[in-house]
Structure formats: C-alpha cells, structure tokens
Amino acid sequence: MTENAKRKTKLEKISLPVEGMTCASCVARVEKSIKKINGVEDVAVNLASEKASLSIDKSKVNIADLKKAVEEAGYKVNLSLFEKDEKYSSASEDSAKVSGSDLLLKKDFLFALILTIPIFIISMIQMFYGIRETIPLSYSQLNKILLILTIPVIFISGKRFYKIFWNNLKRFTADMNSLVAVGTGAAFSYSVIITLFPELILKTGEVPHVYFDTTVVIITLILMGKWLESRAKSKTGSAIKKLIALKPKTALIKTAEGEKVININELIIGDIVIVKPGEKIPADGKIITGYSTVDESMLTGESFPVEKTLESRIFGGTINRSGTFEFEVSAIGKESVLGKIITLVEDAQGSKAPIQKLADKVAAIFVPIVIVIAILTFILWIILGGTNSFTFALINFVAVLIIACPCAMGLATPTALIVGIGKGAENGILIKDGEHLELAHKVKTVLFDKTGTITEGNPVVSKIITNGYDENELLKLAASLEKRSEHPLAEAIVNFADRKGISIPDPNEFESTTGSGLIGKVVDKKIIIGNKNFLSNYNVTLDYFEAKAYELSSEGKTVIYVAIDGKSAGIIAIEDPVKKTSADAIQKLKSLNIRTIMITGDNKRSAGHIAKQLGIDYFEAEVLPADKSNIVTKYQKKGEIIAMVGDGINDAPALAQADVGIAIGTGTDVAIETGDIVLIKGDLMGVVNAVKLSKATIRTIKQNLFWAFIYNTVGIPLAAIGLLNPMFAALAMAFSSVSVISNSLRLKKLKL
C-alpha cells in the first residue's frame, strides 16, 4: 500500500451541524476556520443544510478542536445532533421536525410585527398634516412613543443581528448580520439623538424627522424573509425525510420465550424477525422460511413488487405485500442498504459543485466591499446633498447596506443541489457529490459494458437443434456434465433442463478444459460439449450445423456443440437477453446528442448484431476486462467528457477512469461503493434520467446565481444614488432568498 493510500485510510468522514450561518460570507468563514486545523481535509460547508462535511485524521484532531474552531469564527456546533447522528438514532428525524431555532425565528418575527404596525401607523400620521393636527401630541411626544415601541424590536427581535455583529467586530470580520446591524443601528441611533437630544443635530425651526419606522420595518421584513427561507429550506430536504420515514419503529422477533415486539434500535445481527403482510421490513437480511412479494419502489423506483422466496435477500424499509415470512438480520442502522443510501444522499447534499466556486470567491470579499461602498455613498451625499444632506446620506447609506445582503448568493447553489440529489434518490439514482452531478450534463459520449448492463446478465437457452436425437434426451445428457461446471453458460443449460422437468443423472466420468469444453461419460455414452474448435480436436464433424450455427451467432447468441459417442448430435443456442428498456434508453440518449458506444468481449459479429438491434452508434468488440479502462482513456484523449456505465464490480477500473462512472446495481454494498452515480435499479433509463436531472439542476443553479448577482448588481447602485428606500430594500432582500429557494424547489416537479 502506498503512503498516500495509507494516509487516506486514516481519514474518517464526518458531518458537523453548524448553527448561526446566514449568508455566503458565513460559509466562507467557517470553511476557512476549519481548514486551518491540522488533520482536516475536504471541507465543504453547506448553508442550506447547515452542515460542515469534512474528513479528519482522528490521530491528529478531535471534535473538541473542530467545535473550538467553529466557535472562534462566531458560530456554534450542535453537539447533541452530532452525537445522535454518530449513533444513527434520530438525528435526521430531529432535523425533519421544526427545530427550536425555527420556532424562535417565528416568535421574533411575530413579536416585531405586532410592534411594527403601530410604529408604522404613527409614522404615517406624522407625514400627513391634516391627520396630524387632530392628535393632541407634539412631534417630540410622538417620537418618544416611537422610541419606546422600537426598543423591544431592536433588543428582543433584532438582538440576533447585533449579537453576531459584535462577535464579528471582535474578530475583524463581517457578514450579512453586520450589514443589517450597521444599517438599522445607524438609523436607530440617529433617531434616538433627534428624539432625546434634538439640539445636537437639528437647527431651530426644523421639523424633527426620525427613522424608527425604517429601522423596525427592515428588521421585521428580514426576520420574515428568514422565517420563510427556513420553512422553504426544510422542504428541500424532503427526500431525506422520506427515506427516514421508511424505517419502522418496531420489529417482531422470535426468542426462546416466544414472539416479542422490540424497538428497531434494539435489533442485532442474527435476530430472527417475523414480517406479516402490509408491514415494513425493519432491517436487511435473508428469508429463512416463507415467501412473499415485496414492494421495493422506495429504494429502486421499480413499481412492480418483487417475488421473494427462501434465501432471497430483503432490504430494510421495503414493504411486505402478501405472505408472512421470517428472515435473519444481516445488517442494521448505517450498515443497512437504506442506512447507506441515507448517508450517501446526506453527504452528496452537503458537497459542492464546481460552479459554486465563483459564488464563494465573490462572497469572501463581498461584505467588506459593500461596507466601503456604503461609507463612500454616505460621504458623497454629505458633500453633494445640500439641505438635509445628513438625513439623505444616512438613508442611502442604510439602503446600500440592506440591499447588499448576500443571502440569495449563498443559497443559490446548495438548495438546488439538495433538491436535485434528493430527486435522484427518490427515483433510484444515487449521485455521490455535486461535482459529478454537474459533470453529467457535459457528457458527450457514454460507454456501456454489455453483460449485465445492456443485457440482463443471466444467460438463457433460446434454441436447441438436433441431428436425429430427441431434444429432451440431448438436453439431459448435456445438463449432466454441465451441472459439474461453474460456468454461467452451464448454469443456463441446467436451469433450462430443470424448468422442463428433466431428471438429470450424475456423470460417470467428468473432465473440464477451462474456456473450451467438457468431456465425460453419462449412462455409458461418451459426451463432448464445447465450442467448435474443442469438438474439432476430437475429430467430430460439424458440417451439418455450420450454416445454422453461423446464423445463430450472427444474432448475438453463443453456440454450444454437443457430440454423443463421437458424432455431432446437436447445438444449444444461449443468449443473454437485452433488457426491455435498453433500446429506449439508447434512443433517448441519442436525442440528447450523446454518442453511445458498447464495450464487450463478444466477437465482432455478435457485438455488431446487438449494436444494430439497439441503435448503438459504435462498438468495441473482443475487449478483455482489463482493457476497458484503456478504451475509456482513448476517448478521453479526444477531449470529450466520458461516462462509463458498468455493473460496478469487474468494470471498476473503467468506472474509476471515466469522468462520470455510473454503476448499475441492485442496492448491494459493491454497487453503492462503486461509481460516482449509482443506479439502484438495473435499468439504463437511469442513465438518461441522471443526465436530465443534471441538466435541470445546473440550469436551476445558473438561474439562481444570475438572479442573486443581478439583484445585488442592480440594487446597490440604485440604493447609492437615492432611488431605493431602505424599507423596499429590506423587502426585496427578504424575498430574494425565498425566490431562489422556491426556484430550486421546482426541481421536485421534474418528470423523470
């Protein structure tokens, strides 16, 4: 093992729940703080999921170090959620519920709203002289009332902004909270001075004008936006919630004392579980008694129930439809297929796509630049404003700060990724990270392994032709030798004989030549089975079958010759049936302007037949498994983004070499661990859907980033030149984040 490989094996991937992040600047700050720690790699902080995904070397760093780094950056690690997640108990279930912080956000918003309404009404009264004259209170008295009503909004509902601003100030950093705090704080402070010490600013005879309404409306609107944003963000994680909801709460197990209902968290490997019709299966295992049909659609996307008999593998979270059966538990919690899928989807949703790098770079310098622009705006309006220049400068200063809050920019990419990856999981498409979700939409050529990918991977006998022998007799003699062989083609012949109800005798003699054929004695008859060359070596004349064998092999079938007592007796044609959806998938990929290429070890004639049958653009025949990765490299050298589709086991080198490795699987451990995208259901339509999902997700991200950048690019100049009232700026800022999340949520309606 290389030093690099040894080092990699020490790394453990963890996910830290981080609280208090509000914008892209926060994300950049948390990432920067964690990256400084020795022993930490691959840090990705996600604003939408409020988690930091990272790999750590436990010999160099511990959770306390990470917690300290996050807190020094001004944020908080929720260790209670982290510990639950480590045990795989109910951490994700907790996240599926309304969190305490969300309830506090709602309470702060409603409290601010109750006080903002009278503040706004009183401020409006002051502006209309006709109404103003009917009220027996002076401007000074009304201002004092406004001050009293505003203070609770500032120090209770708005406390969060000022607290984070103060912590940032101590660290010489700034974020969205800093912009809100400085903007509203400046308007409030100015209004307090006018209310309590007007002689310090106002000239004799001036009508005092305060901005308490501006201050509270900004805070209320931003809190409203944050609350709506929080509610919308919770919907982006609905895929995880659906997966979690698949887990039953209890299991019925067999014990020495009889049947017993236990909590699912008490299940251990080796337990015997009884599952009745309509119940959810609580864990992975193998059936030991009984049979049934099981609905696996929640894992595979397959709508038809799957028949399960003795020794059949079953998966936790799937639903038993008909019979009652018992199974032995083989995997639980995070080690179960459902557990691995949940972990995989959570990790993927916490990853970053390369397209996000631009937003991250901008966010890192955005807030400091905005503060400079706001200060310059204030200074210029002081110089150029003339009468009431200070008031006008202050309002424009506040407007620039509020309109510039980069919340939408920070949410543009992660929300779309969370929804897109979740949508894939709901349809049996597991995308391991944002990078490969983005790459998939750039794929120009897809290479397909044939066996088990384009075809079913289960050879079957399709035709038997004899030369004067009874077909069943020939099959009985051939199956007698073949049942001693471990070759997949031998299994096809034996299974065919079993299905026909033929009794298969044991051979008297048996000898195998690997890759060529079998020879032996069955019921005193000498039997030779194998390819054409093998039988020719024993001087068996095969002219009788030559034309028919050529025709069958041209159709992609494998021809097995059978000789009895030195004479050619018949041929058995075996084929690996093409999956029902393969042809449709190939045509749909071509309609997306993607070239399709098949890689197979078959001879050129057989490969050509299948390629023509399915409409595949090109094929590479007679390819050894070890050479598949070289084929991928050959096409990559042409400058194309290449996807390789294989069964995830013997195609592993080619999958690793491809830009996007797509593993065909049935929810097995190997399939989940192989490839960048895993198709739980062995259906090539999953490749089409993965590409469509990638294109839709990247399109949504680009839309989000466009509106986020345009919003700030247009809004800041308008605010600076005095064309944008701070309250309208707050309203626009509040809804910018909600609009970005809402746009991402449209991906849930994508038809795959």
Residue numbers annotated as active site:
449
Task: State how beta strands 677-679 and 660-664 pair.
Answer: parallel
- CA-nearest of 720, 453, 702 to 577 is 453
**Which DSSP category does 4 fall into?**
H
Indicate if the alpha-carbon torsion angle 630, 635, 638, 641 is positive or negative. negative
CB 462 within 8 A of CB 613: no
Opening angle at CA 303, ends 302 and 304, nearest 5? 95
Burial of 5 (0-12, 13-18, 19+ CB in 10 A): exposed
CB 369 within 8 A of CB 401: no
- 3-class SS string, 663-696: EECCCCHHHHHCCCEEECCCCCHHHHHHHHHHHH
DSSP per-residue codes, 481-503: HHTT---HHHHHHHHHHHHTT--
- Please state, in angstroms and rounded to a whole number, the distance separating the CA atoms of residues 61 and 541: 74
Q: 250 is written with which tokens? A: 């209890």
CB 695 within 8 A of CB 682: no
What backbone phi and psi angles, to 5 degrees, belong to 167? -65, -40
What backbone phi and psi angles, to 5 degrees, belong to 197? -135, 60
- Please state, in angstroms and rounded to a whole number, the distance separating the CA atoms of residues 280 and 246: 8
What backbone phi and psi angles, to 5 degrees, belong to 119? -60, -45
Place of tokens 């049909």: 293
CB 79 within 8 A of CB 15: no
- Please state, in angstroms and rounded to a whole number, the distance separating the CA atoms of residues 298 and 242: 9
Strand partners, 521: 509, 526
- Cα of first residue to Cα of last residue in the chain, in angstroms, is 42
CB 606 within 8 A of CB 454: no
- Please state, in angstroms and rounded to a whole number, the distance separating the CA atoms of residues 548 and 550: 5
Place of tokens 């002289």: 129
Beta carbons within 10 angstroms of residue 285's beta carbon? 27
- Please state, in angstroms and rounded to a whole number, the distance separating the CA atoms of residues 696 and 423: 11
What backbone phi and psi angles, to 5 degrees, belong to 673? -90, -10
Query: To 10 degrees, what angle do helices 726-745 and 685-720 make?
Result: 180
SS3 content of the chain, % helix, strand, coil (to 5): 55, 20, 25
Q: Which residues contact 745 (CB under 8 A, 6 or more apart)?
A: 232, 235, 236, 415, 419
Task: State how beta strands 618-620 and 595-599 pair.
Answer: parallel
Task: Please list the alpha-helical segments (H only) found in 404-512.
Answer: 407-426, 434-440, 471-482, 488-499
Place of tokens 């909801």: 245
- CA-nearest of 527, 539, 525, 538 to 484 is 527
Q: Give kind and range of the element (H or E) at residue 253.
A: strand 250-255
DSSP per-residue codes, 282-309: -SEEEEEEE-EEEE-HHHH---S-EEE-
